[in-house]
Structure 1
Amino acid sequence: MTLKGWRFILNRALIIPQRYVFGLLGLFALANSFTMRVCLSVAIVKMVSYVPSGAHIIGETCPDTSIGSNPVTNTTVVVNNRELYDWDEETQGLLLSAFYYGYVVTHLPGGLLAEKFGGKWTLGLSLLCTSLSTILTPLVVGLWGGVGLFCMRVLSGLGEGPVTPAFVLLMARWVPPSERSRFGAMIFGGAQIGNIVGPYISGLLLADGGDWANVFYVFGGLGVIWFLFFTVLCYSTPNSHPFISDAERNYLNVNVAASGLHKKLDPVPFKAIVRSPQLWVLVIAAVGHDWGYFTMITDLPKYFSDVLKFNIKETGLMAALPYIAMYIFSFIFASFCDFCIRRKWHSITTGRKIYTTVSSTIPAIFIILASYSGCDRIEAVGLFIASMAFMGGFYSSVKINAMDIAPNYAGTCSAFVNGLAAVSGIITPYMVGLLTPDQTIQQWRTAFWTIFAVLVGTNIIYLVWGSGEQQWWDDVDKHGYPPKWKHGPLKKRSEDTEKKVVYPKHDHSPISDD
């Protein structure tokens, strides 16, 4: 049978729209990427030997009521033929932040590669790199200890850096504006699946003396399996997809605004991007959210284990519950946001500002309340669950805002935003380690107040200057240059092409530096 014949059969057999296949595999991709990102947060509890401090600790400490708790009392214990390490809180904070050293570096290169070569292979190969480095982590740690772990976590971060910009670019090519909040919740909500499955499965694998290496083998292996399915079923654009239906292809060509869907894009307009207030405001909002979010996913298991004294199995379950709430509420917020935009009850800009506030200020309040709940486990867990539930509004606001302001260069802009915001992942684990050397409630309360200040402060800035409108530099042919633009043309054109350019809304032509 000819290729044309196979495509005809697939067009008839695959009744599921291909953008939903992309969305489903995207969900699994983000889920697996986050299991590999957060698995160390639980595993490190079993990698470190416990050394009771003889110093007097000032501040509240909770009683250890875990059944059968038996802390290790020396630094040379070997469990399952693996040495336990005497890493103090500061060292643990450095190791937990190591992932983000690599994660920050590859955001912008990943976005540029995605725009040049397509999001499919940029995304697929990036996650394959993270999966393989995760599988190799126990071997490297056995050889070089903490130094080896730090290097492997940096390598894992290097692999995951391009994931968000590649996905934002793919969504800009595949998802119409009226469906973006739902797809954003579906795909990026996969992060919450990872935050749920990662700690819970890790807790089960580590319970009853389980080998911590199994955590890395399981989640790294799942990443390799995902890569095989993704390379067969997903493509960079609808027009390059070999078995998408004609009806869906036509629908997306009509309703998706990204010019890159139909033609080769001009070079990235960096000199306009770095001068865009709307993009810098988005960076600030993303920094605020990531400051709170990364602290939760990285350090919450330690809080449950070291402060509230849950055992390892309970820690995995308790650390998963807040993300179950976040995942459910992300769909509720996303559906309502899309509904309101379709009904024109509010603009895209207003919607982004509403849900940025929902995902920043309200969680900040609940985090502070949790810090004052003392040793009341039920109250503390309930408040953390409420905090993360409202943080689900993030996927209807800051996470997809780059697609609104720059659908053509969404990969680069998302990389710029997420790369700078991810610096929070470097700072927060190390900061928490410094602020909580004795793991007392009073010390943790200081860390939580820092989160509160950052979340609320960055939210206020976004409310004043944030935008959900396409910026002029994303499509100069459509919007023209602003009246006060004095930095030369963004693209090189022939004289004939320049004469045909239309500058709507005003009569100003671009002013050259010459």
Structure 2
Amino acid sequence: MLIGWRKTVAKCFIIPQRVVLSIMGFLAIVNAYTMRICLNVAITEMTVKKNKTFIDDGVDRGICLVEGGSSGGNMGKGIFEWDEELIGIILGAFFWGYVITHLPGGLLSEKFGGKYTLGLGILSTAIFTLITPVVINWGGSTWLIVLRFLEGLGEGTTFPALSALLATWVPVKERGKLGSFVFGGGQVGTIIGTALSGVLIDYYDSWESVFYFFGILAIIWFLIFIVICYKDPESHPFITEKEKDYLIREMGALSRDKTLAPTPWKAIVTNVPMMALVCAQIGHDFGFFIMATDLPKYMSDVLQFPIKENGLYSSLPYAFMWVTSIAMGFVCDWMINRKMMNVTNSRKFYTTIASFAPACLIVGASYAGCDRVLVVILFTLAMGFMGGFYPGMKVNALDLSPNYAGTLMAITNGIGAMTGILGPYLVGVITTNQSLYEWRIVFWIAFGVFNITNVVYIFWASGEVQPFNDSELLKKSKESLANSDSEANHNEVKKPKLISIKGNKNES
């Protein structure tokens, strides 16, 4: 009866369970990013802005003017007198916690499955997001820094847990499109987080509203995720036999190998393609976090956009990035399946697109000056090309080692996330006067980081499964088992012959 009930429920799912998991994984990252990003917009309204009055003495100070001959027309209603350096520390505090839980998250996901590692991480961040207004009004900047650190601890498990889940659920031929779709939740979360934050603050005339809204959404996601998603196909009660057969045919198993040896740390950290992947992740994260964390500040402080327009125009680049990442993911899989390009070259090709083009375009935006339309167009194109990272280096950890994908993602994403600490602080230190020329220095630094890390990836990256995926200890164990079986079979074959010979002797 139980089996019949499960089959009946399974028929209610129109789409395969691996796609259901991918959708919920996508929404997990969406929620993670909305909770991470909303402060970036809210802080522009929480803080007291400098009133930069324009002096017409013929000196170009790199300051954009608004109507009335002043650059201080967007003063807002901020009450916190935080300088640029302190704001940089606040925005970077999230990543202090974020990098710490990557590795534990990856190890726990590989040992117990990624379901609860992912779910509980998002839930904890949701609770911390909900109490943010209370903490800010009670404890000010110091306790906000502590709270953002705790939020980072919760979200640090997100990408390692999802990598472990995808490695168990998604075949190689679908990793480009489903991987790009899932990890593309970062762009959608940034879009929703920036655009809706501006709208909510403008509509309710309250920066507190964004934290309540996004915290509640994440809790709703958690409740649905826990009910309908499972750590692997083998444990899923509602998966169809057809999908099971497909996954066994494509992946060889429905769950992670329980006989795997402990994580081969030395082999991983000395593996050249793995280190190339870490380098590419640093390039991606440095550029992405500078844009995601500080673009609303650039739009507000330099281009003088009001809060509602700030949220809208800051979100446009990520909307384009999401569309291009999905499109490139489909094209990437199509090219691999048609054997037009192997996995290694496809990862390098799309990573190069995502590095070189954005590097040039964001520098170009700094030379567009105060032309708001041109700046928004250039930023939008830059982030659109950055979508190539997702079918490129972002899914590369699954290629290198399906068995240890959670750990690999923990290492790469964790090291890359350190740029989330450095980036906002660097921006705060360099842009003390909030001028175009100061921001131009920031974008030139990003240009260098993008291209240097990409060159390393081009030379040493790989899309092939690495030897450490099947560790030496496991190999020896399997070889020993094979030898034992061989010896046993050999003895079984010889035994009848000995009896037969003995029998012949007695007869004679």
Distance 1:327 1:495 in 2: 46
Q: Which has the larger radius of gyration?
A: 2
1:35-434 matched pairs, under 5 angstroms: 35-52=34-51, 59-65=61-67, 69=73, 71=75, 84-207=79-202, 210-256=205-251, 260-434=255-429
Question: Structure 1 residues 262, 474: closer, same or farther in 2, change over 3 A?
Answer: closer
Tell me the CA shift for residue 317 of structure 1. Answer: 0.2
Distance 2:6 2:177 in 1: 29
Tell me the CA shift for residue 84 of structure 1. Answer: 1.5
Q: What's the CA shift string for 1:446-489, capped at 9, x where partnerless?
A: 0000000000000001000010000011014xxxx6xxxxxxx5
Distance 2:3 2:457 in 1: 50
- More displaced 10-residue stretch of structure 1: 390-399 or 490-499: 490-499
**Residue identity matched to 1:444:** W
Question: Structure 1 residues 209, 245: closer, same or farther in 2, change over 3 A?
Answer: closer
Tell me the CA shift for residue 10 of structure 1. Answer: 1.2
Distance 1:276 1:16 in 2: 38
Tell me the CA shift for residue 49 of structure 1. Answer: 1.3
Counterpart of 1:244 in 2: which secondary structure? coil
Is 1:440 equivalent to 2:431 in the alignment? no
Give aligned-pair identity as a percent. 47
Tell me the CA shift for residue 70 of structure 1. Answer: 5.5
TM-score by length of 2: 0.91
**Residue identity matched to 1:30:** I
Counterpart of 1:375 in 2: which secondary structure? coil
Tell me the CA shift for residue 497 of structure 1. Answer: 2.8
Distance 2:60 2:106 in 1: 48
Question: Structure 1 residues 106, 62: closer, same or farther in 2, change over 3 A?
Answer: same
Distance 2:67 2:338 in 1: 53
TM-score by length of 1: 0.90
Question: Greater helix percent: which structure?
Answer: 2
Q: What's the CA shift string for 1:64-106, capped at 9, x where partnerless?
A: 249994626xxxxxx6xxx821000010011010110010000
How large is the RMSD of aligned CA atoms in angstroms? 2.2
Counterpart of 2:463 in 1: which secondary structure? coil
Aligned partner of 1:497 in structure 2 is: 481
Tell me the CA shift for residue 23 of structure 1. Answer: 1.1
Question: Structure 1 residues 363, 501: closer, same or farther in 2, change over 3 A?
Answer: farther
Distance 2:410 2:357 in 1: 27
Distance 1:501 1:180 in 2: 37
Q: What's the CA shift string for 1:426-447, capped at 9, x where partnerless?
A: 0000000111001100000000
**Residue identity matched to 1:313:** K
Counterpart of 1:365 in 2: which secondary structure? helix
Q: Which runs of 5+ in 2 are unaligned?
A: 487-508
Distance 2:234 2:394 in 1: 26
Tell me the CA shift for residue 184 of structure 1. Answer: 1.2
Number of matched pairs: 481
Distance 2:364 2:317 in 1: 15
Aligned partner of 1:484 in structure 2 is: none
